Amino acid sequence: MYTEIVPDCKSATLSAIIRGRADIESAIYSDRWRGYDGLVDLGYEKHFRVNHGENEFSKGDGNHINGIENFWGFAKHRLSKFKGIKKDKFILFLKESEFRFNHRKDNIYLILLKSFRENPL
């Protein structure tokens, strides 16, 4: 999972982020929102759409877009205990949630300990 606060939701903005983060051979599953238009033109030939408007949540082959829904549920649950976050600090809380989500099956203590040993403050 990768999170970023974007200045706008234009197709060009999102395409630039995706181009910098996803390998061209990756299979990308998205909904039909227009912000994802043009990914095939960028070379992402494995861009598949799920049509929520027709109660479609999977293409029937086990591939779906529930990963982002799963992350937002995880993040909202984590962040709700703070009962509000200052706007200028939100990115820090978001990136922490991203880290915890990406390592939710790992021992975070050991990961942080290793990181602090390799990069002392």
Place of tokens 């095939």: 40
**Model confidence over 82-99: pLDDT tens digits?**
888 999 999 999 999 999
Kindly state whether residue 62 falls inside one of the protein's structural domains: yes
Tally the domains of the chain: 1
The letter for the amino acid at 85 is: I
Q: Which two tokens stand for residue 33?
A: 């929102």
**Residue 6 forms part of a structural domain:** no
Establish if 4 belongs to a structural domain.
no
- What's the domain range around 82? 11-118
Structural domain includes residue 107:
yes
Q: Dig out the tokens for 73 from the structure.
A: 């549920």
Collapsing DSSP states into helix, strand and coil, what is residue 106? coil
What amino acid is encoded at 14 in this protein?
Answer: L
Statement: the pTM of the whole predicted model exceeds 0.75: no
Q: What is the pLDDT of residues 13-71, one digit of tens each?
A: 888 888 888 888 988 877 777 778 888 888 888 888 877 665 555 555 555 556 677 88
Closest among 6, 1, 27 to 91, alpha carbons compared = 6
Per-residue tokens: 120: 């002392």
3 within some domain: no
